[in-house]
Structure 1
Amino acid sequence: MEAQYPAHWEADVVLADGGTAHVRPIRTTDADRMRAFYARLSDESIYFRFFGPRPELSDREITRFTTVDYVGRVALIALIGQEMVAVIRYDRMTPTEAEVAFLVEDAHQGRGVASVLLEHLAATARERGFERFVADVLPANRRMMGVLRQAGYTAESSFADGVVRMTLDLAPTETSQEVVVGREHRAEARSIERLLNPGSVAVIGVSRAGGVGQTVLRNLLAADFSGPVYPVHREARAVAGVRAYPSVSAIDGDVDLAVLAVPAAGVIDVVKECAEKGVRGLIVVSSGFGETGAEGRARQDELVRIARAYGLRVVGPNCLGIANPDPAVRLNATLAATVPGRGRVGFFSQSGALGTALLQRVAQRGMGISSFVSAGNRADVSGNDLLQFWEEDPATDVILLYLESLGNPRKFTRLARRIARRKPIVVVKSGGATRHVPTGHAAPVLGLPDSALSSLFEQAGVIRVDDLVQLFDVAQLLAYQPLPAGPKVGVVSNSDALALLAVDACVGAGLSPRPPVNLGATAGAAEFGAALAGAVAADDVDAVVVVYMPPIPGGAADVAAELVRVAGECGKPVLATFEGRRGMLPELRTGMNGADPARGSIPSYAAPEEAVRALAYAVRHARWRDGLGAGHAGGPAGVARGARELVRTALAEAGDGDGVEVDAAGLLAEYGVEVWPSVPVFSADEAVDAAQRLGWPVAIRAVEAEAVQRAGTVRLGLSRPDAVRHAYLDLARQLGGEMTIAVQRMAPQPAVPTVVSVVEDPGFGPVVSFGFGEVAARLLGDQAYRLAPLSPEEAGSLVRSVRAAPLLFGEYGYPPVAVGALEDLLVRVGRLADELPEVALLDLDPVLVGESEVVVLGARAVLRSPVGPRPDGGPRGLRPV
């Protein structure tokens, strides 16, 4: 009987050169693939693998290599198209040690195939309980030794009998994680760079009578694309004055990028033809895929599978296209006739129809873009891929994202956190009220409220704005002005009324306005220049908002020139409401270079309130960079062995599955968190006996979660038997005899009741939440969220994010409490959540925060049996289809 095939080990991966391959476990049906693969190997590759010449493999050897049990003997292969290009395997030596070997076809060596296969094989080995790999390598096989040494695992080597024996400890290290992240970053960035910088473009599906294909073709030609453009039409000899070809394969030159505008039913055949031609990237503007329902979604998945199998990345389908206004490229492979000039902003939009309007708005504001991608149904290329590219792109200073869904939210937050320390990321996320995911957009079903998404964006340093106007308002400030050092704002104006509006807006946005400088309606360039110079020179001013609204036209050019001169010398952000105009106005630019405003240009807003609102976002982002942006929970801390054993035992006894209750107190104890003992009782006499054993005073409370959240289900400070008896009878009567009642030693008073929870979200993975335990706080949803694990800085931010946080710091008549102990508890719970993916739910309720300590009075934990790694938790790979 054939061993059970582990389908969750399959993955599409991006290689070091930006191409793709499919990784999967080997099957017995791969015998012919193995023979063909072996026949293409050089004598040297065979010698290094088998330590001697071996012209061919016997049928017995083929059977042995393709027959595995997926436990003690495992082999993974890399496929490009239908051909096997590499294989890696391990064979058990001891219960915790296995021998590893791999072989890569000569034509594909140097593409990072071996490295990605080793990552995946190491993950499977850890899943099967192995702790070490052993490899015997010939000294001349430097390539294999390099792959093993550069993986980042703890390694040892020895030399005997002409062979180097290398031993790898498979426990993840900070170095091995950094290696994986670095390789992922370079590969995915390279895959996008190939799309945005093609040497040639083919447009497939053009017609002589207009339509989508001809629109893209004309836009490419109008932008004066730097390379050859090949229209593909079955019959026409020329389209739009350019020689046409009957098929992609008939093109007599290389094709880097293909734009597909053919009917959906014909896309698959065209993709296969592009793969045979050697095309490296696809833009599918055709509709009729996931947005149309189940049949279209199946067609979309097949499109992606085939493209990835042959090494191609796909933008779309149902998309607007991509643009790169770099003068060396001049690419407008979109349906939009208007593409902004060169700028400092990278722009990603899921919506195709909206993308056209967004590009027009960018152009109207005079901002410019570094590159633009509209991903449509986002079947393959996503915002995460663009983040990888823009992180290192020297032409991009600010990243704008219009998102309708999140494909891999945990990966998004990981990337954003790293990138936002250097380049601001501004996001508009639609669907906040409706929780709607547009048809055709692959996305996990997020179990968290929209407020949680905002919290997690905040943790990652992402600037989430409410609408598209704010998106561009914030972008034009961040792209051309420095970040403010603090919240202190100076206001220079020639209108009392507008200055007061700016001051009021500052107060409402949490900024600290200084008394405004009103120059009067007749103020000119000299007055504005002197006032601005005085404001930016003041130590108690971090940014300046200038309002210029002259009652009589004239003199604007001189005022603008003076503002630009002073702002360019101060090093502080300067914003303007200049004649009520919006955007990067020509007269407020510095260092003009065509249509691209230079750093230091002053952004203008239609009203002072808009300028202040954009500035407030920048202040919060600067504060994140200065504080939380530098603090992060580091590499793996090591799972508490007792906790792991407790979880395994509980799942084994329950037969695995979901909804398995576990001893929460025992689990938390492994992480240094004590849950005060609680004795369930079923009569007044039992309650008195329990109180005497625990020690006076005691509290009596309901245990069930639904009862805990109701008012009046706790009796505190009971110090006599008759008080306990009376309290029990009263509470039992209130609960109707259906709820469990427990007796617990009385916690120190005064104390603030809080709730700490963990949920395993299908998209984000483990998420820690914090809120107050009072009924009013629960009803108002006053809760904040952070991804696990938590650094001390993140724990502090989580505590302070709830609206009722001042009650913990001695405000409103409450005594200050042990916030440091609370933050330590959150860090420990976050570590537990991160290290134990089996914990589906963990509630600490109530958690009493006293003046000197934190007491956990109740805890509940529910387990599940995870299938495969968490989102963004396993070896690198593209989102599955």
Structure 2
Amino acid sequence: MADVTADDIAADRPGGRPRQGPPYPAAWEADVVLHDGSTTHVRPMRPDDADALQAFHVGQSQRSTYLRFFAQMERLSERDLDRLVNVDHVDRVALVAVSASADQGADQIIGVARYDRSGPDEAEVAFNVADAHQGRGLGSVLLEHLAAAARERGVRRFVAEVLPQNGRMISVFKEAGYEVRQRTEDGVVAVAFDIDPTDRSLAVMSDREHRAEARSMRGLLHAGSVVVVGPGADSAETLAGRLASRVLEDIVASDPAAVVHAIGVAGAPSVPVRTRLSDITGPVDLAVVAVPATDTVDVVRHLARLGVHGIVLLTAGFAEQGPDGLDRQRAMLRAAHGAGMRIVGPASYGIISTRDDGLRLNASLARTPPVVGRIGLFCQSAPLAVALLGSVRRRGIGVSQFVSAGHRADVSGNDLMQFWTDDDRTDVVGLYLESLGNPRKFSRVARRLSSTKPVIVVTAGRSGQVVPPGHAVRPTHAPPRTLAEMLRQSGVVQVENTHQMLDVAQVLAHQPLPAGRRTAILASSASVAALVAEAAAAAGLVVSGHVQLLPEDAPADQVQAAVDALYGDPDSDVVVVVRIPTVGDPDVGLQEAVARAAARSRRTTVACIYDLHGITAELTGRDDDGREWTVPAYSTPEDAALALGHAARYAQWRAADRGRPLHPEGVDLRAARRLVTGWLAEASGDAVLGLDDERTAQLLATIGVPVLPSTRVRDADEAVAAAERIGWPVALKTTVPALRHRADLGGVRLDVADEAELRADVAQVLDLAAGFEGGGLDSPLEVQAMAEHGSACVVRSVEDPLFGPIISFGLAGDASDLLGDIAYGVPPLTDVDVSELVRNARAAPRLLGYRGLPALDVGALEDVIARVAVLADDLPELRSLELNPVVVSEHGAVVLGARASVSRADRADATRRLPRV
């Protein structure tokens, strides 16, 4: 399409200088993963990009230039170039995808996307991708980021003029999941589409993100050639030198035929050691780097020439050392991502992986790696990796892949989950997370993975809010329970430590999923059976009543009969076997009988048998199809029962309907955004703007949530006048914070029927409020129409810097205020999530027909929560919203009070990917 229009000229200020707008939007910068698994950097256009943009234009083919500008232009004129690089980041926005050159690290533009506003909520859009980089998904990525930036600036629709032969660009629009409208006129295709996210467009973005990040991990984990870079052959006694030497030895030991190169590493007799990276001819898939932090940027730039897919960085010295270290980390990431590489680390323990060819890659510091198996493991710090792998080896657990992300500057658990979703070699995933950099994305990716494979998570500290040095993570003000609710909502199995993580992993990897929670028990005595039953009940299992007692000296025929009876019970789903002899040796016959019966019946079984621990040959049997199943052995009956309980809950979650996305009727999110954008335009800076009652009601009206009007009054005369206008009976309330909404403390008077009663109540409430802070307000009272009687609830939304929007629900009063009986959810929610949110409050039975009382209209309450959740998810400017109270009656839910605040958006997870630290 022609790039210079009358609208462009009108938008420019005299002298060619753009109109003044917001400062450079650094938050729009992001490192992104492309379809081929490589990376690039996306950022706003800058005035100093003129030379790079001209080079990009000159490097394009005549066809690409013609498709972009509808004319042949060998070079951009000075006027065009000045106009293209000078944008106001509001009405004229341009994003560029850049790649760092291998020699100087300077930005080379490989793609451009821009919009120019053509109406209040409409903009003309154009894209141009370098010929050499087409087919990598750059157009799709630029569209995602440009649409996200446009929505922040109030643009809701893109239009474009495209030549008919430019089918690739039209396909980018359609494949993004938008509803594209097009017509042909005068040989040009006019295209228009709304850029508000839809279920389909979000699914498309999620799928594209999944494929790209999975492929980038595959390039790391399935590397066929490796280069190990150390600090120099004469640095063998330094920590970096020892790290490099150890990894080189481990790589060669795991695969003697591997293609391995060594630079500056001592002690590798089987691998020639070179002194310069330029001595190696590429390509090389993976680099393991152990050099001082100050040297990493130069090493990364040299590795780019070899076509390296990813780097495992063993050494530290970055963000954990303060601002200077963080700058080094950012420079390293910029160099790596500009060259298309991913970084594992810094301070990584390395990676271990089984490739498609069946060979093992041990690019780690683990001298003895775990055996090959079906469990994928992810952790962060190297010391914890040592302990975790040691426990894995002692249990005999098999591992498909192991990744230590260190300080997690780039590759995270999210990336590995994307890979494991499609990896046929991995059945169970275990994650030890010291920090979560993007909880919203974690929730989205984990929910997808959990629907097919169990995900077991340990977080540092019970709240998961511990941030170790070196982890660039936003602060959070969310209650500690928020993370647990988010993980439960995502189907993740949360455990307290790595011991429990491996306990759960071994039953899920080596036994079928439990069909239910009914539990049968085999034990050597009644007292042991009683203890096992108690442990099972505490773990959430249901003891079915089938208990087999098997004395220590039972003969072989009695052992077999007991096992057959146990597994022949149709009223049990899972089995716990506890056999600890007080004298003598373990009963080999029992072990064999249990292993055979568990395999053939597919009845999920765990065992606590003396002298057995983890995955053992003694408890391995084959089913009728010849597949091997192993009954995992535990140190204590409590460990066995707890692991089995987690497995049963996961199986129940996986089998349940997870619901559908929320789309309440009558919600106008565009109107909500227009209101908030207008109010923020009146405010100064980034201050939080508290909305008055009128504006709060206006905002809620856009999502179909009316607030029952109230009138502020100062005395009895004004109260009576207001009641006459509203109609009797009325409610009288104090606005004093300590008594507001508190009928139990006398701050609310209901069903006031006439003037005399109202005047008496006014006197009493004013007298009561005088003893509290705020009792001297100009308008200390409000009069409101009576709502139908019911239960008062509180619905809140808070925008957290780390988690984004958090929805909470509780019944009003002491249940919430004193006992903390509040349920939490992290949008986006489904209808099932909303239903569970209400029922997760411990006082929820009061809404469902408590002690013979009539059930209230919970559906109406869920509708209010759904509307709030949709608003909070779409509008990051909504800093807080409180609906208090929401009175739920037998026939509806009415909002009696609401307050809200807004501020400029600062959400960590929009549709952009790999945000810069």
TM-score bracket relative to the smaller structure: over 0.9
Q: Deviations over 1:312-338 (max 9, x none)?
A: 111110121111144634111122223
Residue 173 of structure 1: aligned partner: 198
Which residue is equivalent to 1:845?
884
The one-character-per-residue Cα deviations of 1:21-53 (angstroms, maximum 9, x if unpaired) are 111222332222123223433344334434555
Give the drift of 1:59: 4.1
Corresponding residue SS for 2:630: coil
CA distance in 2, matches of 1:111, 1:47: 21
Q: Of 362, 382, 398, which residue of structure 1 is paired with 2:392?
A: 362
Determine if contact 1:770/1:784 at 8 Å carries over to the other structure. yes
Question: Helix, strand or coil: the match of 2:305?
Answer: helix
Structure 2 segments unaligned to the other structure (5+ residues)? 1-16, 101-106
In 2, Cα distance between equivalents of 1:38 and 1:850: 66
> How many Å separate the matches in 1 of 2:216 and 2:472?
20
Deviation at 1:253, TM superposition (A): 4.2
Give the stretch that moved more between structures: 323-332 or 751-760: 323-332
The answer on whether the counterparts of 2:667 and 2:867 sit within 8 Å (CA) in structure 1 is: no
Pair 849,528 (structure 1): closer, same or farther in 2 beyond 3 Å: farther
1:89 to 114, 118, 130: 114
Contact 1:650 1:660 in 2 (8 A): no
Does residue 10 (structure 1) correspond to residue 50 (structure 2)? The answer is no
Residues 397-546 of structure 1 correspond to what in structure 2 (within 5 A)?
397-432=427-462, 435-515=465-545, 516-523=547-554, 526-546=557-577
For residue 702 of structure 1, what is the aligned residue in structure 2? 734
- For 1:593-672, what aligned pairs fall within 5 Å after superposition? 600-633=629-662, 639-655=668-684, 657-662=687-692, 663-672=695-704
CA distance in 2, matches of 1:334, 1:347: 14
Root-mean-square deviation (Å):
2.8
**SS state of the match for residue 239, structure 1?**
coil
* 8 A contact 1:342–1:369 mirrored in 2: yes
In the alignment, is residue 758 of structure 1 matched against residue 788 of structure 2? no
Mapped partners of 1:448, 1:396: distance in 2: 33
CA pair 2-142 structure 1, distance change in 2 beyond 3 A = closer
Kept in 2, the 8 Å contact 1:682–1:741? The answer is: yes
- 1:584 alignment partner, one of 607, 615, 635: 615
What is residue 350 of structure 1 aligned with on the other side? 380
Does residue 675 (structure 1) correspond to residue 694 (structure 2)? The answer is no
Cα distance in 2, alignment partners of residues 568 and 95 from structure 1: 66
Q: Which of 205, 222, 227 is 1:202 aligned to?
A: 227
Equivalent position of 2:7 in the other structure: none
2:403 aligned with 1:378, yes or no?
no
Mapped to 1, the partners of 2:318 and 2:627 lie a distance apart of 42
Structure 2 counterpart of 1:732: 766
Q: Which of 680, 695, 715 lines up with 2:749 in the alignment?
A: 715
3-state SS of 1:8 partner: helix
Asked whether the 8 Å contact 1:790–1:826 carries over to 2, the reply is no
Q: Does the CA contact (< 8 Å) of 2:349 and 2:385 recur in 1?
A: yes
Instruction: Return the letter of the residue paired with 1:734.
Output: L
Mapped partners of 1:257, 1:48: distance in 2: 38
Match of 2:4 in 1: none
Q: Render the CA deviation track for 1:613-658: whole Å, top value 9, x for unaligned.
A: 1122122222222335354437999634553444344334445741
Kept in 1, the 8 Å contact 2:596–2:622? The answer is: no
Say whether 1:216 aligns with 2:241. no
Change (3 A) 1:290 1:96: closer
Equivalent residues in 2 for 1:327-338 (5 A)? 328-338=358-368
Structure 2 residue 857 is the aligned partner of structure 1 residue 829? no
2:783 corresponds to 1:743: yes
1:866 is the counterpart of 2:885: no
Q: Are residues 252 and 641 of structure 1, via their aligned partners in 2, closer, same or farther at CA, if it must alter by over 3 Å? A: closer
Distance 1:309 1:445, change over 3 A: same
Q: Could you list the per-position Cα deviations for residues 305-364 of structure 1 after superposition, in whole angstroms to 9, with x for gaps in the alignment?
A: 221122111111012111114463411112222321111111111221111110111111
Deviations 1:511-551 (A, max 9, x none): 21022221222335554444444444433212111222234
Once residues 816 and 160 of structure 1 are traced to their aligned partners in structure 2, the CA distance between those partners, rounded to angstroms, is: 61
Q: What amino acid is the match of 1:877?
A: R
Deviation at 1:389, TM superposition (A): 0.9
What is the deviation of 1:866?
1.5
User: Structure 1 residues 294 and 533, CA, compared in 2 at 3 Å: closer, same or farther?
Assistant: farther
1:760 Cα shift?
Answer: 1.1
Q: Map 1:275-290 to 2 at 5 A.
A: 275-290=304-319
Separation of aligned partners in 1, 2:684 and 2:803: 27
Moved more, 470-479 or 270-279: 270-279
Bigger drift between 639-648 and 453-462 goes to: 639-648
Deviation at 1:504, TM superposition (A): 0.9
Find the counterpart in structure 1 of residue 716 from structure 2: 684
Structure 1 letter corresponding to 2:676: V
Shift in CA distance, 409/701, structure 1 to aligned 2, threshold 3 Å: same
Given candidates 253, 276, 293, the residue that maps to 1:247 is 276
**Number of residue equivalences:** 871
Are the equivalent residues in 2 in contact too, given 1:257–1:282 (CA < 8 A)?
yes
- What code does the residue aligned with 1:600 have? W
Looking at structure 2, the residues matched to 347 and 697 of structure 1 have their Cα atoms a distance apart, in angstroms, of: 64
Is the 8 Å Cα contact of residues 847 and 858 (structure 2) preserved in structure 1? Answer: yes
Letter matched to residue 215 of structure 1: R
Select which of 576, 584, 588 maps to 1:557.
588
Structure 1 residues 525 and 177 mapped into 2: Cα distance closer, same or farther (>3 Å)? farther
1:589 aligned partner, one-letter code: T
Q: Which amino acid aligns with 2:364?
A: T
Give, as a single letter, the amino acid of the residue that structure 2 aligns with 1:278.
Answer: G
Alignment correspondent of 1:76: 95
Closer, same or farther: CA 773–636 of 1 in aligned 2, 3 Å: closer
Change (3 A) 1:65 1:753: closer
- Report the TM-score when normalising by structure 2: 0.89
CA distance 1:194–1:640, change in 2 (3 Å) = closer
Matched with 2:55 is 36
Corresponding residue number in structure 2 for 1:184? 209
Go from structure 1 to structure 2 and tell me whether the alpha carbon gap of 1:695 and 1:156 turns closer, same or farther (over 3 Å shift).
Answer: closer
CA contact (8 A) 1:522 1:550 kept: no
State how far apart, in whole Å, the 1-side matches of 2:325 and 2:258 are: 34
Paired residue for 1:124? 149
Shift of 1:17: 0.8
> Which stretch of structure 1 is more off in the superposition, 727-736 or 64-73?
64-73
Aligned amino acid, residue 197 of structure 2: P
For normalisation by structure 1, the TM-score amounts to 0.92
Q: 1:499, CA displacement in angstroms? A: 1.3
Q: Counterpart of 2:629 in 1: which secondary structure?
A: coil
Partner of 1:27: 46
Q: Deviations over 1:236-292 (max 9, x none)?
A: 6x6344210102222234322111111122222212222233322111111111222
Paired residue secondary structure (1:676) = coil
AA of the residue aligned to 1:495: S
Secondary structure at the counterpart of residue 338 of structure 1: coil
